[in-house]
Amino acid sequence: MRKVRMNVQGRVQGVGFRYTTKMLADQLGIHGAVWNEADGSVGIEATGSTEAMAKFIEGVKASPSPAGHVTYLDLTDDPMIKNRDSFEVTFGH
């Protein structure tokens, strides 16, 4: 099980990024949350198998939203991320 925290920058707000990220996570069996940050970036906490997480990270880097564009992704493994039963779009951390 891998637990990661991401901060995604670029054209990621107002383009359906959070909802398409949820669709990608649901497809891969990833649990966690995605939310907009006040600085225009998007925050993500995700847990899943190593294989599924690798696909999820690549999908986020490529922008799951066709209208989005990722210019920078900060990725940190964080074993303290709480386990969730699903992947949620939230309105703040």
Q: Measured between alpha carbons, how far is 88 from 5 in angstroms, rounded to an integer?
A: 14
Enzyme catalytic residues: 18, 36
State both tokens at 40: 């225009």
Q: Are the beta carbons of 72 and 39 closer than 8 angstroms? A: no
Sheet with strand 87-89: strands edge to edge: 69-77, 2-11, 42-48, 31-36, 87-89
